[in-house]
């Protein structure tokens, strides 16, 4: 009885708290209307969040990841990742297309995936960008997306850790409580 009462009180407190102190929400950057050139160049992947551990588990094996964003054509962006796993380096490319009438990026080979850009101010960082990857449910009877994760990218590798803390705190407020943060302990791959 006491447990049920405590649970109800806690639930009510959480509800009332969110009314007076709502979660901050990220601001979407619409790919058809932003200046893409300001996002070209080097980016350091720092952290990822999701509401499921499976969506971010692959990032746990990395020490660091450095991406370079290049504009290869008027509507095509290439992201090259140099990833450190232990003493090994892995290099991979992803090609994104900007489609008229869409506010997200289309990843070549994965047309079902939505790749949305969010303003880094959600992490209290002007030199950051957040990318959300979402894939629809695997079956029509499923109610949850099969993938939904947010990834934080920084322009500077040694940015204040408060940025990552803010990103994780704001994500947790939106029930994105599973997280991974890369340690950046080893040399970067090139």
Residues 6 or more apart from 105 whose CB is under 8 A from it? 31, 77, 96, 97, 98, 115, 116, 117
Tell me the mean pLDDT in the region 169-178: 95
Q: What percent of the chain has pLDDT over 70?
A: 88
Q: Which domains does the chain have, with CATH numbers?
A: 24-181 (2.40.128.20)
**Selected residue with higher pLDDT from 120 and 144:** 120
Tell me the mean pLDDT in the region 133-156: 86
95 within 8 A of 110, measured Cβ to Cβ: no
Residue 18's pLDDT is 46
Burial class of residue 89 (count of CB atoms within 10 Å of its CB; 0-12, 13-18, 19+): middle
Q: Is residue 6 pLDDT above 60, yes or no?
A: no
What are the pLDDT digits (tens) for 129-138? 999 999 988 7
180 within 8 A of 171, measured Cβ to Cβ: no
Q: Is residue 14 pLDDT above 50, yes or no?
A: no
pTM: 0.84
């Amino acid at each position: 009885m006491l447990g049920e009462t405590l649970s109800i009180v806690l639930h009510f407190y959480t509800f009332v708290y969110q009314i007076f102190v709502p979660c901050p929400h990220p601001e979407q950057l619409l790919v058809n209307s932003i200046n893409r050139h300001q996002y070209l160049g080097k980016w350091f992947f720092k952290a990822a969040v999701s509401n499921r551990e499976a969506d971010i588990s692959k990032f746990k094996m990395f020490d660091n990841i450095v991406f370079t964003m290049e504009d290869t054509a008027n509507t095509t962006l290439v992201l090259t990742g140099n990833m450190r796993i232990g003493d090994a380096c892995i290099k991979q490319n992803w090609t994104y297309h900007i489609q008229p009438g869409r506010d997200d990026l289309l990843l070549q080979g994965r047309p079902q995936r939505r790749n949305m850009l969010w303003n880094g101010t959600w992490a209290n960082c002007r030199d950051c960008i957040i990318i959300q990857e979402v894939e629809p449910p695997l079956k029509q009877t499923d109610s949850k997306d099969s993938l939904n994760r947010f990834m934080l990218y920084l322009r500077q590798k040694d940015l204040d850790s408060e940025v990552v803390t803010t990103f994780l705190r704001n994500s947790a407020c939106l029930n994105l409580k599973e997280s991974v943060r890369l340690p950046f302990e080893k040399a970067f791959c090139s």
